[in-house]
Amino acid sequence: PSQGRRRVSGTMKSSFLGVLIALVGNSLIGTSFSVMKIAHERNTGGKNYLTIPMWWAGTSLMVLGELGNLVAYSLAKPSLISPLGAISVVVNVPFAYFILGEKLSFRNILGCILCILGGYGIVGVVANNTSEHETVTVEQFEKMAFRPTFMVFFTISVMESIDLIWSRRKTVMTYIWICSLLGGLTVLSIKAVTSFMVITFQGSNQFGNLLPFAIFPILALTLVLQVHFLNKAIADYGTGEVVPTYYVIFTSCAVLGSAILYGDLTDSSKENILVFLLSFIATSAGVYLVANQREGKINIHRTSGEQHIRSIEASDGDDQETLL
Protein backbone atom coordinates (compact mmCIF):
# COMPACT_ATOMS: atom_id res chain seq x y z
CA PRO A 1 0.00 0.00 0.00
CA SER A 2 2.81 2.43 0.88
CA GLN A 3 4.45 1.81 -2.51
CA GLY A 4 1.10 2.43 -4.23
CA ARG A 5 0.68 5.71 -2.35
CA ARG A 6 4.19 6.77 -3.33
CA ARG A 7 3.45 5.98 -7.01
CA VAL A 8 0.21 7.96 -6.91
CA SER A 9 1.95 10.86 -5.16
CA GLY A 10 4.68 10.82 -7.80
CA THR A 11 2.07 10.80 -10.56
CA MET A 12 0.25 13.76 -9.01
CA LYS A 13 3.51 15.72 -8.82
CA SER A 14 4.20 14.82 -12.46
CA SER A 15 0.72 16.01 -13.49
CA PHE A 16 1.01 19.30 -11.65
CA LEU A 17 4.43 19.88 -13.20
CA GLY A 18 2.88 19.17 -16.61
CA VAL A 19 0.11 21.69 -15.87
CA LEU A 20 2.64 24.33 -14.80
CA ILE A 21 4.71 23.81 -17.95
CA ALA A 22 1.56 23.92 -20.12
CA LEU A 23 0.47 27.21 -18.50
CA VAL A 24 3.88 28.76 -19.16
CA GLY A 25 4.01 27.31 -22.68
CA ASN A 26 0.57 28.55 -23.67
CA SER A 27 1.33 31.96 -22.17
CA LEU A 28 4.39 32.17 -24.41
CA ILE A 29 2.28 31.15 -27.41
CA GLY A 30 -0.33 33.81 -26.64
CA THR A 31 2.38 36.43 -26.23
CA SER A 32 3.99 35.38 -29.52
CA PHE A 33 0.80 36.27 -31.44
CA SER A 34 0.88 39.81 -30.09
CA VAL A 35 4.62 40.19 -30.71
CA MET A 36 4.22 39.07 -34.33
CA LYS A 37 1.25 41.43 -34.68
CA ILE A 38 3.48 44.32 -33.56
CA ALA A 39 6.10 43.24 -36.09
CA HIS A 40 3.57 43.31 -38.94
CA GLU A 41 2.14 46.67 -37.84
CA ARG A 42 5.61 48.23 -37.78
CA ASN A 43 6.45 46.80 -41.19
CA THR A 44 5.18 49.84 -43.08
CA GLY A 45 7.83 49.46 -45.77
CA GLY A 46 6.52 46.10 -46.92
CA LYS A 47 9.74 44.21 -46.10
CA ASN A 48 9.85 40.43 -46.07
CA TYR A 49 8.77 39.44 -42.55
CA LEU A 50 11.66 36.95 -42.39
CA THR A 51 14.02 39.92 -42.18
CA ILE A 52 12.22 41.52 -39.21
CA PRO A 53 13.85 40.78 -35.79
CA MET A 54 10.55 41.35 -33.94
CA TRP A 55 8.87 38.65 -36.05
CA TRP A 56 11.65 36.21 -35.20
CA ALA A 57 11.25 37.08 -31.51
CA GLY A 58 7.55 36.16 -31.73
CA THR A 59 8.33 32.97 -33.62
CA SER A 60 10.92 31.99 -31.02
CA LEU A 61 8.37 32.48 -28.23
CA MET A 62 5.91 30.28 -30.14
CA VAL A 63 8.49 27.52 -30.63
CA LEU A 64 9.42 27.60 -26.94
CA GLY A 65 5.74 27.43 -26.00
CA GLU A 66 5.09 24.45 -28.27
CA LEU A 67 8.15 22.67 -26.89
CA GLY A 68 6.75 23.28 -23.43
CA ASN A 69 3.46 21.67 -24.48
CA LEU A 70 5.34 18.64 -25.79
CA VAL A 71 6.99 18.22 -22.40
CA ALA A 72 3.65 18.76 -20.65
CA TYR A 73 2.01 15.95 -22.66
CA SER A 74 4.75 13.60 -21.48
CA LEU A 75 4.04 14.47 -17.83
CA ALA A 76 0.23 14.63 -17.74
CA LYS A 77 -2.82 13.34 -19.53
CA PRO A 78 -3.98 14.96 -22.80
CA SER A 79 -7.45 15.57 -21.34
CA LEU A 80 -5.78 17.76 -18.72
CA ILE A 81 -3.32 19.63 -20.97
CA SER A 82 -5.52 20.27 -24.05
CA PRO A 83 -8.12 22.53 -22.36
CA LEU A 84 -5.33 24.72 -20.95
CA GLY A 85 -4.74 26.02 -24.48
CA ALA A 86 -7.30 28.70 -23.56
CA ILE A 87 -4.48 30.51 -21.76
CA SER A 88 -2.98 31.45 -25.14
CA VAL A 89 -6.17 33.41 -25.91
CA VAL A 90 -6.57 34.99 -22.47
CA VAL A 91 -2.97 36.19 -22.18
CA ASN A 92 -3.54 38.47 -25.18
CA VAL A 93 -6.01 40.61 -23.22
CA PRO A 94 -3.60 42.26 -20.73
CA PHE A 95 -0.88 42.33 -23.40
CA ALA A 96 -3.18 44.16 -25.84
CA TYR A 97 -4.24 46.61 -23.11
CA PHE A 98 -0.80 47.53 -21.76
CA ILE A 99 1.33 47.18 -24.91
CA LEU A 100 -0.96 47.65 -27.92
CA GLY A 101 -3.17 50.27 -26.27
CA GLU A 102 -6.47 48.45 -26.92
CA LYS A 103 -9.45 49.18 -24.69
CA LEU A 104 -10.39 46.76 -21.92
CA SER A 105 -14.10 45.86 -22.09
CA PHE A 106 -16.44 44.04 -19.73
CA ARG A 107 -16.52 41.09 -22.18
CA ASN A 108 -12.74 40.84 -21.97
CA ILE A 109 -12.76 40.83 -18.18
CA LEU A 110 -15.64 38.35 -17.92
CA GLY A 111 -14.01 36.06 -20.50
CA CYS A 112 -10.72 36.05 -18.60
CA ILE A 113 -12.48 35.31 -15.29
CA LEU A 114 -14.37 32.38 -16.84
CA CYS A 115 -11.17 30.97 -18.36
CA ILE A 116 -9.30 31.26 -15.05
CA LEU A 117 -12.13 29.64 -13.08
CA GLY A 118 -12.47 26.90 -15.70
CA GLY A 119 -8.74 26.26 -15.73
CA TYR A 120 -8.69 26.09 -11.93
CA GLY A 121 -11.49 23.52 -11.97
CA ILE A 122 -9.73 21.38 -14.58
CA VAL A 123 -6.47 21.41 -12.64
CA GLY A 124 -8.36 20.68 -9.42
CA VAL A 125 -9.55 17.38 -10.86
CA VAL A 126 -5.92 16.20 -10.84
CA ALA A 127 -5.77 16.34 -7.05
CA ASN A 128 -8.37 13.57 -6.81
CA ASN A 129 -7.13 11.46 -9.71
CA THR A 130 -5.51 8.26 -8.44
CA SER A 131 -4.13 7.00 -11.75
CA GLU A 132 -0.62 5.58 -11.36
CA HIS A 133 0.55 5.79 -14.98
CA GLU A 134 1.13 8.96 -16.98
CA THR A 135 3.53 7.32 -19.47
CA VAL A 136 2.92 4.17 -21.50
CA THR A 137 5.30 1.63 -22.96
CA VAL A 138 5.10 0.43 -26.55
CA GLU A 139 3.54 -2.83 -25.40
CA GLN A 140 0.89 -1.00 -23.34
CA PHE A 141 0.14 1.39 -26.19
CA GLU A 142 -0.24 -1.47 -28.67
CA LYS A 143 -2.86 -3.13 -26.46
CA MET A 144 -4.71 0.17 -26.01
CA ALA A 145 -4.60 1.16 -29.68
CA PHE A 146 -6.05 -2.13 -30.94
CA ARG A 147 -9.02 -2.16 -28.61
CA PRO A 148 -12.30 -2.09 -30.60
CA THR A 149 -13.49 1.18 -29.04
CA PHE A 150 -10.39 3.10 -30.09
CA MET A 151 -10.30 1.46 -33.52
CA VAL A 152 -13.83 2.77 -34.10
CA PHE A 153 -12.82 6.27 -32.92
CA PHE A 154 -9.69 6.25 -35.10
CA THR A 155 -11.55 5.00 -38.18
CA ILE A 156 -14.32 7.58 -37.83
CA SER A 157 -11.79 10.41 -37.37
CA VAL A 158 -9.75 9.41 -40.41
CA MET A 159 -12.66 8.62 -42.76
CA GLU A 160 -14.62 11.76 -41.82
CA SER A 161 -11.51 13.91 -42.33
CA ILE A 162 -10.90 12.38 -45.76
CA ASP A 163 -14.54 12.92 -46.71
CA LEU A 164 -14.46 16.59 -45.64
CA ILE A 165 -11.17 17.25 -47.46
CA TRP A 166 -12.39 15.45 -50.59
CA SER A 167 -15.65 17.41 -50.60
CA ARG A 168 -13.66 20.66 -51.03
CA ARG A 169 -16.35 22.62 -49.23
CA LYS A 170 -15.02 25.96 -48.02
CA THR A 171 -17.28 26.57 -45.05
CA VAL A 172 -15.88 27.50 -41.65
CA MET A 173 -17.26 24.34 -40.03
CA THR A 174 -15.67 22.15 -42.70
CA TYR A 175 -12.25 23.63 -41.94
CA ILE A 176 -12.78 23.45 -38.17
CA TRP A 177 -13.95 19.82 -38.20
CA ILE A 178 -10.95 18.78 -40.31
CA CYS A 179 -8.57 20.56 -37.92
CA SER A 180 -10.30 19.19 -34.83
CA LEU A 181 -10.52 15.56 -35.95
CA LEU A 182 -6.91 15.53 -37.12
CA GLY A 183 -5.81 17.60 -34.11
CA GLY A 184 -7.25 15.01 -31.75
CA LEU A 185 -5.11 12.33 -33.43
CA THR A 186 -2.10 14.67 -33.27
CA VAL A 187 -2.46 15.03 -29.50
CA LEU A 188 -2.75 11.27 -29.00
CA SER A 189 0.33 10.69 -31.17
CA ILE A 190 2.34 13.33 -29.28
CA LYS A 191 1.43 11.70 -25.97
CA ALA A 192 2.58 8.30 -27.25
CA VAL A 193 5.87 9.54 -28.74
CA THR A 194 6.81 11.64 -25.70
CA SER A 195 6.00 8.69 -23.41
CA PHE A 196 8.29 6.43 -25.43
CA MET A 197 11.05 9.02 -25.26
CA VAL A 198 10.73 9.50 -21.48
CA ILE A 199 10.83 5.75 -20.82
CA THR A 200 13.79 5.37 -23.19
CA PHE A 201 15.70 8.10 -21.34
CA GLN A 202 14.96 6.25 -18.12
CA GLY A 203 16.88 3.25 -19.46
CA SER A 204 14.29 1.09 -21.22
CA ASN A 205 14.60 1.47 -25.01
CA GLN A 206 11.17 1.76 -26.66
CA PHE A 207 12.41 2.25 -30.22
CA GLY A 208 13.43 -1.33 -30.92
CA ASN A 209 9.83 -1.88 -32.01
CA LEU A 210 8.37 -0.73 -35.35
CA LEU A 211 5.26 0.81 -33.74
CA PRO A 212 6.86 4.15 -32.73
CA PHE A 213 8.11 4.62 -36.30
CA ALA A 214 4.59 3.99 -37.59
CA ILE A 215 3.29 6.77 -35.32
CA PHE A 216 5.75 9.41 -36.59
CA PRO A 217 4.17 9.68 -40.10
CA ILE A 218 0.69 9.95 -38.53
CA LEU A 219 1.94 12.71 -36.25
CA ALA A 220 3.63 14.62 -39.07
CA LEU A 221 0.74 14.30 -41.57
CA THR A 222 -2.03 15.24 -39.13
CA LEU A 223 0.00 18.19 -37.84
CA VAL A 224 0.73 19.59 -41.32
CA LEU A 225 -2.89 19.22 -42.48
CA GLN A 226 -4.19 20.70 -39.25
CA VAL A 227 -2.02 23.83 -39.58
CA HIS A 228 -2.90 24.15 -43.29
CA PHE A 229 -6.67 24.09 -42.84
CA LEU A 230 -6.56 26.21 -39.68
CA ASN A 231 -4.73 28.94 -41.59
CA LYS A 232 -7.32 28.74 -44.39
CA ALA A 233 -10.13 29.07 -41.85
CA ILE A 234 -8.59 32.12 -40.18
CA ALA A 235 -7.78 33.73 -43.54
CA ASP A 236 -11.34 33.29 -44.86
CA TYR A 237 -13.39 33.87 -41.71
CA GLY A 238 -11.25 35.64 -39.07
CA THR A 239 -10.23 34.68 -35.54
CA GLY A 240 -13.49 35.76 -33.88
CA GLU A 241 -15.44 33.03 -35.62
CA VAL A 242 -12.71 30.40 -35.83
CA VAL A 243 -10.87 30.48 -32.48
CA PRO A 244 -13.72 29.78 -30.01
CA THR A 245 -15.39 27.16 -32.23
CA TYR A 246 -12.10 25.44 -32.97
CA TYR A 247 -11.13 25.45 -29.28
CA VAL A 248 -14.37 23.73 -28.23
CA ILE A 249 -14.45 21.07 -30.99
CA PHE A 250 -10.69 20.38 -30.97
CA THR A 251 -10.55 20.04 -27.18
CA SER A 252 -13.63 17.80 -27.23
CA CYS A 253 -12.01 15.51 -29.81
CA ALA A 254 -8.73 15.43 -27.86
CA VAL A 255 -10.41 14.71 -24.52
CA LEU A 256 -12.73 12.06 -25.99
CA GLY A 257 -9.88 10.34 -27.84
CA SER A 258 -7.65 10.41 -24.78
CA ALA A 259 -10.42 9.04 -22.57
CA ILE A 260 -10.95 6.16 -25.02
CA LEU A 261 -7.28 5.40 -25.70
CA TYR A 262 -5.58 6.17 -22.38
CA GLY A 263 -8.56 5.90 -20.04
CA ASP A 264 -7.97 9.40 -18.69
CA LEU A 265 -11.19 9.70 -16.72
CA THR A 266 -11.44 6.04 -15.67
CA ASP A 267 -10.19 6.66 -12.13
CA SER A 268 -12.13 9.88 -11.61
CA SER A 269 -15.32 9.99 -9.55
CA LYS A 270 -18.61 11.16 -11.04
CA GLU A 271 -18.24 14.41 -9.09
CA ASN A 272 -14.80 15.06 -10.57
CA ILE A 273 -16.02 14.32 -14.10
CA LEU A 274 -18.89 16.77 -13.59
CA VAL A 275 -16.46 19.43 -12.33
CA PHE A 276 -14.25 18.76 -15.35
CA LEU A 277 -17.14 19.18 -17.80
CA LEU A 278 -18.47 22.34 -16.13
CA SER A 279 -14.96 23.79 -16.03
CA PHE A 280 -14.50 23.04 -19.71
CA ILE A 281 -17.81 24.75 -20.54
CA ALA A 282 -16.78 27.82 -18.50
CA THR A 283 -13.41 27.97 -20.26
CA SER A 284 -15.05 27.63 -23.68
CA ALA A 285 -17.45 30.46 -22.88
CA GLY A 286 -14.52 32.61 -21.78
CA VAL A 287 -12.62 31.95 -25.01
CA TYR A 288 -15.75 32.83 -27.00
CA LEU A 289 -16.19 36.16 -25.20
CA VAL A 290 -12.53 37.19 -25.58
CA ALA A 291 -12.09 36.09 -29.21
CA ASN A 292 -15.34 37.57 -30.50
CA GLN A 293 -14.76 40.87 -28.72
CA ARG A 294 -11.35 41.34 -30.33
CA GLU A 295 -12.56 40.32 -33.78
CA GLY A 296 -15.52 42.67 -33.41
CA LYS A 297 -13.17 45.61 -33.06
CA ILE A 298 -11.37 44.63 -36.23
CA ASN A 299 -14.61 44.27 -38.16
CA ILE A 300 -15.83 47.71 -37.01
CA HIS A 301 -12.64 49.34 -38.25
CA ARG A 302 -12.84 47.50 -41.57
CA THR A 303 -16.48 48.47 -42.05
CA SER A 304 -15.77 52.11 -41.24
CA GLY A 305 -12.92 52.11 -43.74
CA GLU A 306 -15.08 50.58 -46.46
CA GLN A 307 -17.82 53.15 -45.84
CA HIS A 308 -15.32 55.99 -45.97
CA ILE A 309 -13.84 54.78 -49.24
CA ARG A 310 -17.25 54.27 -50.80
CA SER A 311 -18.33 57.75 -49.69
CA ILE A 312 -15.34 59.37 -51.42
CA GLU A 313 -15.95 57.39 -54.60
CA ALA A 314 -19.61 58.46 -54.63
CA SER A 315 -18.76 62.13 -54.16
CA ASP A 316 -16.52 62.06 -57.24
CA GLY A 317 -19.10 60.43 -59.46
CA ASP A 318 -22.14 61.79 -61.22
CA ASP A 319 -24.60 60.25 -58.78
CA GLN A 320 -24.35 61.81 -55.32
CA GLU A 321 -25.89 58.78 -53.62
CA THR A 322 -25.62 58.54 -49.82
CA LEU A 323 -23.97 55.20 -48.92
CA LEU A 324 -23.33 55.70 -45.22
Q: Are 78 and 174 in the same domain?
A: no
| 99 occurs within a structural domain | yes
Q: Are 4 and 96 in the same domain?
A: yes
Total count of residues recorded for the chain: 324
Q: Are 45 and 148 in the same domain?
A: no
Check residue 66 and give its pLDDT. 85
Q: Is 180 within 8 Å of 157 (Cβ atoms)? A: no
Q: Which has the higher per-residue pLDDT, 148 or 120?
A: 148
| 236 occurs within a structural domain | yes
CA atoms of 85 and 63, how far apart (whole Å):
15
The structure's pTM equals 0.74
Which of 113, 130, 147 is a domain's end point?
130
pLDDT band at 311 (very low <50, low <70, confident <90, very high): very low
Residue 156 CB coordination number (10 Å): 11
In terms of Cβ atoms closer than 10 Å to its own Cβ (0-12, 13-18, 19+), residue 245 is buried
Q: Are 123 and 160 in the same domain?
A: no
Q: Is 120 within 8 Å of 178 (Cβ atoms)? A: no
Which of 90, 111, 130 is a domain's end point?
130
In our burial notation (b when 16+ CB lie closer than 10 A, e otherwise), range 274-302 reads ebbeebbebbbbbbbbbbbbbbeeeeeee
Print the domain residue range for 14: 1-130
| 277 occurs within a structural domain | no
Q: Are 116 and 136 in the same domain?
A: no
pLDDT band at 89 (very low <50, low <70, confident <90, very high): confident
Q: Are 125 and 142 in the same domain?
A: no
Q: Three-state SS for 105? A: coil
Q: Are 6 and 109 in the same domain?
A: yes
Q: Are 189 and 228 in the same domain?
A: yes
Number of domains in the chain: 2
Residue 310 CB coordination number (10 Å): 13
Q: Three-state SS for 161? A: helix
Q: Are 158 and 105 in the same domain?
A: no
Check residue 154 and give its pLDDT. 95
| 258 occurs within a structural domain | yes
Check residue 316 and give its pLDDT. 42
Q: Are 91 and 156 in the same domain?
A: no
| 281 occurs within a structural domain | no
| 149 occurs within a structural domain | yes
Check residue 240 and give its pLDDT. 63
CA atoms of 284 and 247, how far apart (whole Å):
7
pLDDT band at 53 (very low <50, low <70, confident <90, very high): confident
pLDDT band at 127 (very low <50, low <70, confident <90, very high): low
CA atoms of 59 and 55, how far apart (whole Å):
6
> Looking at 33-47, 106-120, 216-230, 271-285, which range is the least confident one?
33-47
Q: Are 123 and 218 in the same domain?
A: no
Q: Are 140 and 50 in the same domain?
A: no
Q: Which residue in 254, 260, 286 sits closest to 118, CA to CA?
A: 286
Check residue 59 and give its pLDDT. 83
Q: Which has the higher per-residue pLDDT, 265 or 27?
A: 27
| 178 occurs within a structural domain | yes
Q: Which has the higher per-residue pLDDT, 8 or 236?
A: 236
Is it the case that residue 9 has pLDDT exceeding 70?
no
| 311 occurs within a structural domain | no
Which of 219, 240, 263 is a domain's end point?
263
